[in-house]
Amino acid sequence: MKFSRFKVFFPDSVQEASELLREIGDDAKILAGGQSLLPMMAFRLVKPKALIDITNLGLVGVHVSPDQIDIGGCATHRQIETLQNLPVAFEALRDGMQVLGHVSIRNRGTVGGSLAHSDPSAEWPALALAFDAEIMATNKESSRTVEAKEFSLGWFTSSLEPDEIVTSVLFRKPGELTASSLVEVSRRSGDFALCGAICVLSSQNRSITQTKIVVFGVAETAVRLPVVEQMVIGNAIFDDPVNVSRVARESILEIIGNRSNDEKSGFVSQIAAPDVVNNALRKTIIRLQVEAKRKL
């Protein structure tokens, strides 16, 4: 199918882009990497009359320090995948980028675009939740920080106001000794995840003191599994990891309720997702052990 007709605007600043969003209203859409928007336009699922291109507004910087990573809204997935100096604590970000679509998609698709799009199977909203990331939303007059847990509200719905643009996202390391990983399962390499899990663990004195376990692809947004997190807190990092599959399954079923009745979501929620959660935990513990030994 062909696109319906539209105009493209090339504003000189985020403020001008925000002003255009206000002036044109519902007929306008921000254009970043175009990897979600353009396919939707080709299928005429959306028919914006104006696209506001924000790719040349200097939002592409990625600033890495040992304790945090500050990512510009238009930084691409590939920029994160190929970072040379990514601290071990943030390895889940690289895990996620290695399985997000194909290289050609990662070369264009942006971090801010993925967050704004809020696909329940996408890696970025889940990563943001797992790290309590701070998302900067900017309009013509000001910027505000939105906590990741307040950002994705539901199925392809974010808490951005109509005139706001995601200009950056800040990931902080939760503890001095931290490791993380993302594990997912998809039908074919490059497909969206059927489901995935992210685990972030911090430890002190060889025992796990903080944890975030997030599952995505099973509900309308990525969700934390607090009961599973509690099972992990206090465990010694060099002991055999506790198997969390059963408790993860119960937690996921509680979250999705009746949605588990159809065959696909039943398989995902009852078999695939709990195992993926358990695998993410095991992978993270191994990374944490290696890091702990390195620091001895």
Q: Is the CB of 129 or the CB of 244 nearer to ligand FAD?
A: 129
CA distance linking residue 98 with residue 77, whole number of Å:
9
Listed ranges 81-89, 105-113, 255-263, 271-279: which one lies at the site for ligand FAD (CB under 6 A): 105-113
163 binds ligand FAD (CB under 6 A): no
The nearest distance, CB 209 to ligand FAD, in angstroms, is 30
| Binding string, residues 30-69; x marks residues near ligand FAD by CB under 6 A | xxxxxxxx-x--------------x---------------
134 binds ligand FAD (CB under 6 A): no
Q: How many residues sit close enough to ligand FAD to count as binding (CB under 6 A)?
A: 29
166 binds ligand FAD (CB under 6 A): yes
The nearest distance, CB 31 to ligand FAD, in angstroms, is 5
101 binds ligand FAD (CB under 6 A): yes
Directed axis angle between helix 273-295 and helix 245-256, to 10°? 130
Could you give the strand order of the β-sheet that contains 7-9, starting from the edge strand earlier in sequence?
7-9, 50-53, 28-31
One of 81, 91, 95, 123 touching ligand FAD (CB under 6 A)? 123
**Would you call 57 exposed, middle or buried from its count of C-beta atoms within 10 A (0-12, 13-18, 19+)?**
buried
The nearest distance, CB 5 to ligand FAD, in angstroms, is 18
Say if strands 207-216 and 223-224 run parallel, antiparallel, or are unpaired: antiparallel
The CB density around residue 289, as the number of other CB atoms within 10 Å, is 16
CA distance linking residue 82 with residue 59, whole number of Å:
18
Inter-residue contact 127 to 99 (CB < 8 Å): no
The nearest distance, CB 18 to ligand FAD, in angstroms, is 10
Inter-residue contact 273 to 215 (CB < 8 Å): yes
List contacts with ligand FAD (CB under 6 A): 29-37, 39, 54, 73, 100-101, 105, 109-110, 112-114, 116-117, 119, 122-123, 160, 165-166, 192
